[in-house]
Chains A and B, each alone.
Chain A
Amino acid sequence: MNLSTWLPVLILSSSLVPGLVIFMLREESHGLRTLLNLAGATIKLLLVAVMIWGVFHEQVYETRWTLAPGLDLVLHADALSVLFVTLSTILWLVTTVYAIGYLEGSPHRSRFFGFFSMCVTATVGIALAGNMFTFIIFYELLTLATYPLVAHKGTPEAVRGARIYLTYTLSGGVLLLIGAVWLRTIAGPLDFVQGGILSDYALDPDALRWIFVLLIVGLGVKAALVPLHGWLPQAMVAPAPVSALLHAVAVVKAGAFGIVRVVYDVYGVEYAAELGVLTFLGAAAAITIVYGSVKALSQDKLKKRLAYSTVSQVSYIALGTAILGPLATIGGVVHLVHQGVMKITLFFAAGNYAENLGIHRVSEMDGVGRRMPGTTLAFTIGALGMIGIPPIAGFVSKWYIGLGAVSAGEAFWVLPVLVASSLLNAAYFLPILYRAWFRPPPDRWPAEVPQTGRWEISGALLWPPVITAGLALAAGLFAAAPYSPLEWAEIITLREYRS
């Protein structure tokens, strides 16, 4: 037993243990809860830093625990898991700060932060899962941990949203399970191996196609692939920090990450292309991208518009995955990070508008940029990034997916999808920006909280969106710097295609 076996466990524990302790805290012990949260997040960040360094130098981090005949719980760190772990760790820290500010004075905070930590633990577990079996365990745990967060307010609306969320995700989970067990029976232990494992065996291609469909449909529920996306707009009843985390890292991203894992590290992208299943995935992703954007156009509620935008944006990851060739891979993988950073900014900002001014609808946002310049600036960066305007992160992802589509030769149909989607993104984001900056503010806001501090809103709510907006900008500006998301995506891609 040494660091290389313990590190994955420590990283999981750094959110699990604080979460368990927080459950037992009294509602009033505000200070201790904050301390535990922030300490856990900071420790996790430090541990992840060690892991990044190690994986970069091709260290092997693996923990194995036998559960049953043929079934091992495996935590394993490769370049892809590190990317996702880092994303969730950083965004967890930021979101925790935001949530502390957002929930100030509201009831049931121990329960909330407890499940919040569980949710991050499950996400990190998904990132570190070393085989399909482990992935499914954490994937289902994520469902369980997020249910109380969606239902948190306890209103009939919240409980209903949570029920719909659960119906979708549990059904998807069952299909995923059947697909995984089936594959396990014909292909043996499904360890995630860069370059895939299935091409080594002579297996029945038809069975493999069916299994692929089962897996993708199972994962597609969380990744909100159309027509499996119905839960996402309903789950918007959750408190803003939850929506932010759900859309940026936890649930939606877990589905997308799973798709990346299945295509690259189980099937192997080249073998998947040979089987012809990538077309299926690509078509589903393309339809989702366009459909989500079209639906976003007509939403007046800000959070709903952002929700449909998530439906659309997350599928860029699936799209990049569905195109054979390293450039598209880079684009898809790096979008895991880019979309997360940008979308969390947008949700933080939306939460601030609702909290501070009572703004829930796009039509109420006239002149909000003058009242809340910091928040609106962050929102603007996030929105422009989503459209794909350089030098913000979103541009980098779209650029690589586009390049990949052209160089793959057969994937020219992706270009019109990209163009159409970007135009649509502009069509639903630019009017918001126009309203916010150029329209005169109304005489009074729907429900304004009088300004007391130095800034437009308390620091705990202002800094998180500003920081994540900065990250989105930096990820684009310094895309070529070492250890940037893009650089890391290139490392991943190199290792995927090396074998």
Chain B
Amino acid sequence: MSSLLIWPIALPLFGSLMALVWPRRADAIGLASSIATLVAAMLLVGRVAEHGMIEHALAGWEPGLGIALRGDGLSTLLLLMSAIVALVAGFYATGYFRNADLKAHFWPLWLMMIAAIHALFLSGDLFNLYVTLELLGLSAVALAALGGTRAAVAAALRYMTIGLVGSMTFLAGIVLLYTAYGTLDIPSLAERVVPQPAAWVALVLVTAGLLIKSALFPLHFWLPTAHANAPAPVSAALSALVVKATFYLLLRLWTDVFDPLVTMEAAMVVGLLGAAAVLWGSWQAWRAERLKLLAAYSTVAQIGYLFVFLPLLLAMPDGDARDTLFGALVLFALTHGFAKSAFFLGAGVILQYAGHDRIAELGGTARALPVTTFVLATAGVALIGLPPSGTFLAKWQLISSAIVTGQWIWLPVVAIGSLLAGAYIFRVLGYAFAPGDRAGPVLAIGQEEIPALLLALIATIVLGFGAAMVWEFLTPGLALGDSVR
């Protein structure tokens, strides 16, 4: 049954082709294949929960020659998030795009991107990873330009150029590894990589390429315009999934392949860049004039948190405490994925309703769109890291690890970052509560509000109260609850 690994990739890919040849049925095809993908992802997660890591060699070729697929706790959990967000945001898109032409363009690209993300999560060798990375980058660029406005196209072009630079750098690193060690299969590489110049340079190149793509400060400059100018469902996927996919890759390579090479200093550098991203991104989000730009800068900040986890992970000795921190990192990424996609969808609703998303002119929104305001608030709770969201639990563990390992420097970063996040979220809510000239229907739940609400509730309620499941899934047997001292 290890062929379960194929379906989360094959189904959206197949859907993408179908939507391409049958554009008039694009909505139905897209939704059907998204639902099927989600089912496949759930089956896969169930399988991994039962058996641990599973592997599959496509067409029976041995790893090293053929395409090897691998799924473990980390990758399948992220894959499940991606399948859920893809389905829900896709459902939202059916109402968002009113124009049949746009729909016909949207669905093939969208499903292609989802297939690429899933392939990235499940690939077991570096060359395939490079291919998925390119596929992902190109489909994401095309989606970002879908709005067709001048700003969107310009931002998308910039996004593409930067993305190419990133993948070229990544490719150079891979080539170096191949010449030095003669394989691109991750487990075999992990056995062979030793500290030596070639490996060092490869580490630097691969890391730099992925940092560009994950928009870590100061390489984030392309992200805000690209994410803010894309259509709302696309922004949701770009912020929630695409950046996270490249972060996942970095995490995987650092822990699996380059484990013997990664020094505390290197991790510290990345962590400090992450801290700068937290502060700078939150500050820019607070100053942003438009709602979607605010959300995009908030992504810059939240990605920063993920990198702050790295030096702490490195400093933790193997054991329960490290597993706990690792789980917190994953929980943080998941919660942000759901919360940010909800936020972007909510912003899209406002944009369509009001015709603009200028924050200072949001007066009356709370009255006209109470559900959307609630979505922004609920997703905002998760972005700030307040209870009961999953981010709150993750931040608790982050602070705890910072104290235990003596890396006190992260405490003010988390504190100030959270307060700034509070400032930018409640700035929006403050304007939304102000009276406005636009009085709308009271409590009408629109079709496009349900998906946003669903994602926000997953981030704040499900991942908060059900967080123990994440840890249990990642590390079976990890002691939970107050028994831990």
Q: Which residues of A contact B (CB under 8 A)?
A: 24, 26-27, 64-74, 108, 110-111, 131, 133, 136-137, 140-141, 143-144, 147-148, 151, 154-156, 159, 162-163, 166-167, 170-171, 173-175, 177-178, 181-182, 184-185, 188-189, 191
Contacts and interface: CB of A to CB of B under 8 A. Distances in A.
Nearest to B370: A111
Nearest to A148: B433
B415 interface: yes
Contact of A154 (B434, B471, B482, B485): B434
Interface in B184-202: none
Residue among A108, A110, A173, A174 with the highest chain B CB neighbour number at 10 A: A174
Q: Which 9 residue pairs of A and B lie closest in terms of their CB atoms, listed nearest first?
A: A70-B484, A66-B481, A137-B387, A189-B482, A69-B324, A188-B485, A181-B399, A72-B482, A170-B422
Contacts of A24: 443
A70 B419 contact: no
Contacts of B353: none
B115 to A, nearest CB: 33
A69 B479 CA distance: 6
Contacts of B396: 68, 71, 133, 177, 181
B442 A174 contact: no
B381 A69 contact: no
Interface of B: 320, 323-324, 327-328, 366-367, 370, 381, 384, 386-388, 392-393, 395-397, 399-400, 403-404, 411, 415, 418-419, 422-423, 426, 429-430, 433-435, 442-443, 464-465, 467-468, 471, 478-482, 484-485
B468 A66 contact: yes
Nearest to A27: B442
Contact of A163 (B426, B442, B467): B426
A328 B402 CA distance: 39
Given A74-B482, A108-B367, 8 more contacts: A26-B443, A159-B433, A166-B422, A170-B418, A177-B396, A178-B399, A178-B411, A189-B482
Contact of B419 (A72, A108, A163, A171): A171
Nearest to A159: B430
18 contacts: A66-B480, A67-B465, A68-B324, A68-B393, A68-B396, A68-B471, A70-B480, A71-B396, A71-B481, A131-B482, A137-B387, A143-B386, A159-B433, A162-B430, A174-B419, A177-B396, A178-B415, A185-B404
B426 A191 contact: no
Nearest to A66: B481
A71 B393 contact: yes
A317 B186 CA distance: 62
The listed residue with most A CB atoms (<10 A of its CB), out of B399, B481, B485, is B481
B318 to A, nearest CB: 15
A126 to B, nearest CB: 12
Contact of B434 (A108, A110, A147, A159): A159
A181 B320 contact: no
A185 B434 contact: no
Contact of B482 (A70, A175, A178): A70
Given A65-B465, A166-B422, A141 B403 contact: no
A173 B392 CA distance: 12
A67 B466 CA distance: 7
Contact of A189 (B387, B388, B485): B485
Contact of B388 (A26, A72, A141, A178): A141
Contact of A68 (B404, B418, B434, B467): B467
Contacts of B433: 148, 151, 154, 159, 162
Nearest to B442: A27
Contacts of A73: 465
Contacts of B370: 111
Contacts of A147: 426, 429
Contact of A141 (B323, B387, B442, B485): B387
Contact of B386 (A72, A140, A167): A140
B480 A26 contact: no
Contacts of A162: 430, 433
B412 to A, nearest CB: 10
Nearest to A152: B433
Nearest to B401: A185
B386 A67 contact: no
A140 B324 contact: no
Contacts of A111: 370
A177 B384 CA distance: 13
A73 to B, nearest CB: 8
B434 A156 contact: yes
Contacts of B327: 68-69
Contact of B426 (A64, A136, A140, A166): A166
B388 A69 contact: no
A154 B435 CA distance: 6
Nearest to A190: B482
Nearest to B325: A69
A76 B397 CA distance: 24
A191 B482 CA distance: 9
Contacts of A177: 395-396, 399
Nearest to B417: A174
A447 B479 CA distance: 65
Nearest to B367: A108
Given A151-B430, A162-B430, A67 B467 contact: yes
A162 B429 CA distance: 11
A183 to B, nearest CB: 10
A69 B386 contact: no
Contacts of A133: 396
Contacts of B426: 147, 163, 166
Nearest to B398: A181
B465 A68 contact: no
Contacts of A108: 367
A281 B167 CA distance: 58
A201 to B, nearest CB: 10
Contacts of B400: 181, 184-185
Contacts of B415: 174-175, 178
Nearest to A151: B433
A69 B403 CA distance: 16
Contacts of A64: 481-482
A179 to B, nearest CB: 10
A165 B453 CA distance: 27
Contacts of A26: 442-443
- Interface-central residue, B328, B366, B484, by most chain A CB under 10 Å: B484
A185 B426 CA distance: 31
Which of A64, A148, A175 counts the most chain B CB atoms within 10 A? A148
